[in-house]
């Protein structure tokens, strides 16, 4: 899906940068063509500054989104979720980041969360990046406690795990 969306803006790296930002941040496009997060409007100059383009590139991108029924359906309904990952150091939480060999494989989230539950560790949040929207999707698991070494070794031993990181 990500490649299809980006393909609609082929030949315009500026518009692709705007699209990437909207997807990464979960920003939607209102019926009037404004970039929004919920009911809060984000000025096009701010979007443009963030991705290094002129404000008119943001305007033309949102116009193109609204002119395409498939893109409109996506960008009128996308939303952001609050993440505990940035707050982890402040709230004394642990973040386990898992990179896998094949993010489109089945049972990845189930296997990892089951292993964590089997060690009686409560999960505060999981975020799984969609392989359709990012080149190197990761699974993030936020817990209240440090993960025991045996659990880390168990997760690391899963055939589909390429790398793990703890924060």
Domain with CATH 3.30.70.260 in the chain: 88-166
Q: Which two tokens stand for residue 127?
A: 């975020």
What tens digit of pLDDT does each residue of 116-162 get? 999 999 999 999 988 777 778 899 999 999 999 999 999 999 999 99
- pLDDT bin (cut points 50, 70, 90) of residue 45 is very high
Superfamily of segment(s) 88-166? ACT domain (3.30.70.260)
> Going edge to edge, which strands form the sheet with 35-37?
28-29, 35-37, 40-42
Burial class (CB in 10 A: 0-12, 13-18, 19+), 20: middle
Q: Cα–Cα distances in Å, from 8 out to 32, 39, 66?
A: 21, 27, 13
Model pLDDT, residue 105: 87
User: CA-CA distance, 129 to 162, in Å (whole number)?
Assistant: 16
Model pLDDT, residue 131: 79
Nearest to 78 by CA among 35, 115, 23, 120: 23
Provide the whole-model pTM: 0.77
The answer to whether 101 touches 162, Cβ cutoff 8 Å, is yes
The mean pLDDT value of the chain amounts to 94
């Amino acid at each position: 899906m990500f490649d299809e969306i980006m393909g609609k803006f082929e030949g315009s790296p500026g518009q692709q940068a705007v699209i990437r930002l909207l997807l990464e941040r979960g920003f939607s496009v209102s019926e009037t063509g404004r970039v929004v997060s919920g009911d809060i409007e984000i000025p096009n100059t701010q979007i443009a500054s963030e991705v290094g383009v002129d404000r008119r590139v943001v305007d033309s991108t949102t116009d193109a989104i609204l002119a395409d029924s498939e893109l409109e359906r996506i960008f009128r309904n996308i939303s952001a979720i609050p993440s505990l990952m940035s707050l982890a150091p402040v709230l004394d939480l642990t973040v386990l980041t898992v990179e896998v060999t094949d993010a489109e494989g089945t049972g990845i989230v189930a296997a990892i969360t089951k292993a964590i539950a089997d060690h009686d560790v409560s999960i505060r949040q999981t975020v799984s990046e969609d392989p359709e929207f990012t080149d190197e999707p990761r699974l993030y698991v936020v817990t209240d406690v440090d993960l025991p070494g045996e659990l880390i070794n168990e997760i690391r031993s899963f055939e589909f795990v390429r790398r793990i990181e703890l924060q």
